[in-house]
Amino acid sequence: MNQSVKEWFESRTGLGRIFHKEMVEYRVPKGLTLPYSLGMLAVLFFVIQIISGIFVLMYYKPDAKLAFDSVNYTIVQVVPWGWFLRSLHAVGAGFFMAIIYTHMFTGVYYNAYKNPRQLIWITGWVIYMVTILLVLTGYLLPQGQLSYWASEVVSEMPTAIPLDIMDKVSLWIKGGFSVGDITITRFFALHVVLLPLLLIVLVFLHMQFFHQTGVTSADGREVHGNEKETVPFIYVTLKEGVIIAIVLAAFSYFIFFNPAPFTPSANFAPADPMRTPAHIAPEWYLTAFYEIFRSIPGKFLGFMATNMFLIFLLLLPILDTSKKKSATKRPLFYFMYLLFLLSFAVLSIEGTQPDTAQSIVIGQVFFFINMLFFVSLPVIAHFEKKKEAIQ
């Protein structure tokens, strides 16, 4: 009976075959390290965002006068378990970004962008961009002071490019001369419909691509298609299950005990176009860019410098000409990689602090170090080739 039901469905859907192909036939290298689970975690948190998002969406009101109260009063205080949904969505966004960054930095560490995985890297980069748009549009929605002023700053960004048309672009983003009702509904539509849909498609492509090429092994060898050195993916999901449970335990700590770091207190002041806050900083996942932007003199140069990081990131498959993979086998690369991480961390932290002469110097120095990593890649590749030739 059971078997015939199974066959009835299988002959009509073919889902079992897909499951078998993706979980059993798809094999991954033995000895994968913990950071290899970050992709799965990112998917998990994307799902958490969608589910919690749907529920807060049921009570949220995209309106300049109503949004703030619909979040801070209706959802958090009136709706049963609304505080939980709101925390899920706010803390979830923070975790999601933290995981995306760590996943990306892991990819850099293992050189996961190299031939034949360029398209995995590029889709990953686009996912990163879309995620940034998602958090930016989402940040406006609660209509706090930070929401308002951060959105003002962001939608003025295009005007850093000295072209007449950019004023129009900025106007078009906002739908008016300042952030207002139209901007909210506009960002709202992007945040709940267009960007998540885009992300779903992109994540699907990203996953399809690495199922096609396989992942790199931790020590940088190509073992895809080698039965001996790989295991069916389904075995790895068991390990990922353990990691997911541990991360969810940490996540629960923030939800139930300490959601404050994810809902900045300054954003509990209702948006007020007449009152500029003394100190505006974006959320932490953008403070590195913010720090670069404000420490480079000149709006246009600052804008370009900020984008350099993103562009270099995209160009990694081209910049890193070495055939070797994984920092575990490349001491020079490993050293530069540490500098890269360190500079990113320092820029991110300094970006949360008020604008002072000291923060400008720190911004410039660590921006330089950050760029040094990208620029050094061809040089490192050159040395590695030489060393190989000697051996």
Partner 1 sequence: MKFLRSIPIVIILGGLFYALWSGILEPSEWKVPQSAEIIKAKVGEAQLIKEGSKIFKTSCAACHSLRYKKIYPFFVNAPNVKPLFKILMKEHNGFLTRDVYESAFALQLEGLKAAFGSVPPDLSTAYVYLGEGKLFNIIKNPQKVLPGTKMPNMQLNDKQVLAVSAFMKTAILPTAKETSRRHLIGIIVIIFFIILAILLALYRKVVFEEDNIEE
Q: Which chain residues interact with partner 1 by CB under 8 A? A: 30-31, 33, 63, 65-66, 68-69, 72-73, 77, 83, 94, 98, 102, 105, 109, 144-145, 218, 231, 235, 238-239, 241-242, 245-246, 248-249, 252-257, 260-262, 265-270, 284, 327-328, 334, 338, 341-342, 344-345, 348-349, 352-353
Rg (CA), the chain: 23
CA atoms within 13 A on the CB side of 228: 1
Q: Compute the least distance from the CB of residue 162 to partner 1, in Å.
A: 34
Q: Compute the least distance from the CB of residue 244 to partner 1, in Å.
A: 8
Q: Which amino acid is at 367?
A: F
- DSSP secondary-structure letter at 197? H
Using the minimum distance from each CB to partner 1, give the nearer residue, 295 or 348. Answer: 348
Q: How far apart are CA 114 and CA 236, in angstroms?
A: 23
Using the minimum distance from each CB to partner 1, give the nearer residue, 241 or 298. Answer: 241
Q: Where are the beta strands (DSSP E) in 131-283?
A: 230-232
- DSSP secondary-structure letter at 29? E
Using the minimum distance from each CB to partner 1, give the nearer residue, 29 or 158. Answer: 29
Q: How far apart are CA 142 and CA 70, in angstroms?
A: 8
Q: Compute the least distance from the CB of residue 345 to partner 1, in Å.
A: 4
Using the minimum distance from each CB to partner 1, give the nearer residue, 97 or 120. Answer: 97
Q: Compute the least distance from the CB of residue 228 to partner 1, in Å.
A: 10
3-state secondary structure of 28: strand
Using the minimum distance from each CB to partner 1, give the nearer residue, 212 or 258. Answer: 258
Using the minimum distance from each CB to partner 1, give the nearer residue, 127 or 286. Answer: 286
Q: Compute the least distance from the CB of residue 333 to partner 1, in Å.
A: 12
Buried b / exposed e over 295-310, threshold 16 CB at 10 Å, is bbeebeebbbbbebbe
Token duo for residue 342: 């360190």
DSSP β-bridge partners for residue 231: 28
Return the residue matching tokens 């897909």. Answer: 18
Cis peptide before 116 (omega within 30 of 0): yes
Q: Compute the least distance from the CB of residue 160 to partner 1, in Å.
A: 26
